[in-house]
Amino acid sequence: MPETSGSRLGQGCTAAQRAVQEHVCQRVVRFCTRLNSTSDGPFSYKGSLQTFGRNSAGYERIRGGDVDLPTRAATCDPGNLVDPGLWETICRPGAIFEEHQSFQQCLGFTKTFGIERKEYIDLTCRELRCKKLRLRTQVFGVAGVFAAAKSTKGRQRKIWDGSVLSERATQPPKPHRLANPSSFLDIVVRRGERLYMSKRDAATYFDLLAVPADLQPWFGQEPIALHEFLSQGRFALAEVIGFVDDLPQGEGLLAQTLLFPVHAAWPMGFSWSSCVAQSNTIGLLVDAGVDPRCILSLDHTLPGSQEELCAVATDDTLFFHRCPFKGRRTLSKLDKVFDKNGVARNVNKDISLAAEMTALGCDISAAPPLVEPCKRKLVKFVAAVCDLLEAPTASPVVVNSVLGTAQWFCLLQRSLFSIFNAIYRFVQLEPSWKPALLPAAVKNELLVCLVLSPLLPAALDRPFLSELLACDAAPQYGFGVCSLACGRKVVEEVGRYAERRGDYVRLQAAAGDEPEVPRLGVPRRLPFCKGDFKPLISTQAKWPAHSGVLECHGVLLTVKWVCRSRSRQGHRVVILVDAKAAIGSISKGSCTSRRNQIRRMTHPEEKELFIM
List, for residues 237-271, the tens digit of each pLDDT value.
Answer: 999 999 999 988 767 788 999 999 999 999 998 99
The total domain count for the chain is 4
Q: What is the mean pLDDT of the chain?
A: 88
Q: How would you classify residue 298: left for phi > 0, otherwise alpha for psi between -120 and 50, otherwise beta?
A: alpha
Q: What is the mean pLDDT of residues 367-382?
A: 95
Long-range CB contacts (within 8 A, 24+) of 166-174: 166/270, 166/271, 166/272, 168/97, 168/106, 168/141, 169/96, 169/97, 169/270, 169/271, 169/272, 170/95, 170/96, 170/97, 171/271, 172/271, 172/272, 172/274, 172/275, 173/86, 173/275, 174/275
Q: Do 192 and 218 share a domain, yes or no?
A: no
Q: What is the mean pLDDT of residues 275-288?
A: 97
Q: Do 488 and 542 share a domain, yes or no?
A: yes
78-133: pLDDT as tens digits: 999 999 999 999 999 889 987 664 445 555 556 776 788 999 999 999 999 999 99
Q: Give the separation between CA 35 and CA 407, rounded to whole angstroms.
A: 20
Domain-embedded: residue 153: yes
Contact 87, 79 (CB under 8 A): yes
Contact 44, 472 (CB under 8 A): no
- Per DSSP, the three-state class of 339 is helix
Last residue of a domain, one of 397, 426, 459: 459
Domain-embedded: residue 405: yes
**Buried/exposed 295-307: b ≥16 CB within 10 Å, e otherwise:** bbbbeeebbeebe
Q: What is the 3-state secondary structure (H, E, C) of 272-297?
A: CHHHHHHHHHHHHHHHCCCCHHHECC
**For position 56, what pLDDT does the model report?**
53
Domain-embedded: residue 4: no
Domain-embedded: residue 171: no
Q: Do 232 and 379 share a domain, yes or no?
A: no
pTM for the model stands at 0.88
Last residue of a domain, one of 430, 459, 488: 459
Number of Cβ within 10 Å of residue 26's Cβ equals 11
Name the strand (E) or helix (H) holding 493.
helix 488-495
- Across 59-139, the runs of DSSP E, i.e. the strands, are 59-60, 106-108, 133-136
Assign 228 a pLDDT band (cuts: 50, 70, 90). very high
Q: What is the mean pLDDT of residues 20-32?
A: 95
Name the strand (E) or helix (H) holding 477.
none
Contact 313, 282 (CB under 8 A): no
Q: Do 122 and 155 share a domain, yes or no?
A: yes
- Nearby residues of 8 by Cβ (< 8 Å), 6 or more positions away: none
* Domain encompassing residue 438: 37-43+374-459
Contact 120, 62 (CB under 8 A): yes
Higher-pLDDT residue of 57 and 470 is: 470
- Across 204-289, the runs of DSSP E, i.e. the strands, are 224-225, 258-263
Q: Do 564 and 511 share a domain, yes or no?
A: yes
Domain-embedded: residue 558: yes
- Per DSSP, the three-state class of 17 is helix
Q: Do 232 and 220 share a domain, yes or no?
A: yes
Domain-embedded: residue 18: no
192 has a pLDDT exceeding 60: yes
Q: Do 477 and 569 share a domain, yes or no?
A: yes
Rounded (10°) angle between helices 375-390 and 15-36 = 90
Domain-embedded: residue 120: yes
Q: Do 287 and 255 share a domain, yes or no?
A: no
Q: Do 508 and 478 share a domain, yes or no?
A: yes
Min mean pLDDT across 45-49, 54-58, 415-419, 555-559 is at 54-58
Q: What is the mean pLDDT of residues 260-287?
A: 96
Q: Do 190 and 313 share a domain, yes or no?
A: yes
**For position 3, what pLDDT does the model report?**
53
Q: What is the mean pLDDT of residues 447-451?
A: 97
401 has a pLDDT exceeding 60: yes
Assign 591 a pLDDT band (cuts: 50, 70, 90). very low
586 has a pLDDT exceeding 70: yes
Min mean pLDDT across 158-162, 206-210, 270-274, 503-507 is at 503-507
74 has a pLDDT exceeding 90: yes
Domain-embedded: residue 6: no
Q: What is the mean pLDDT of residues 427-437?
A: 93
**For position 606, what pLDDT does the model report?**
44
**For position 5, what pLDDT does the model report?**
47
Last residue of a domain, one of 459, 478, 494: 459
Number of Cβ within 10 Å of residue 219's Cβ equals 28
Half-sphere exposure of 18 (CA within 13 A, CB side): 10
Q: What are the phi and psi torsion angles at 224 (to 5°)? A: -130, 135
Min mean pLDDT across 196-205, 383-392, 507-516 is at 507-516
- Nearby residues of 92 by Cβ (< 8 Å), 6 or more positions away: none
**For position 369, what pLDDT does the model report?**
96
Q: Give the separation between CA 389 and CA 375, rounded to whole angstroms.
A: 21
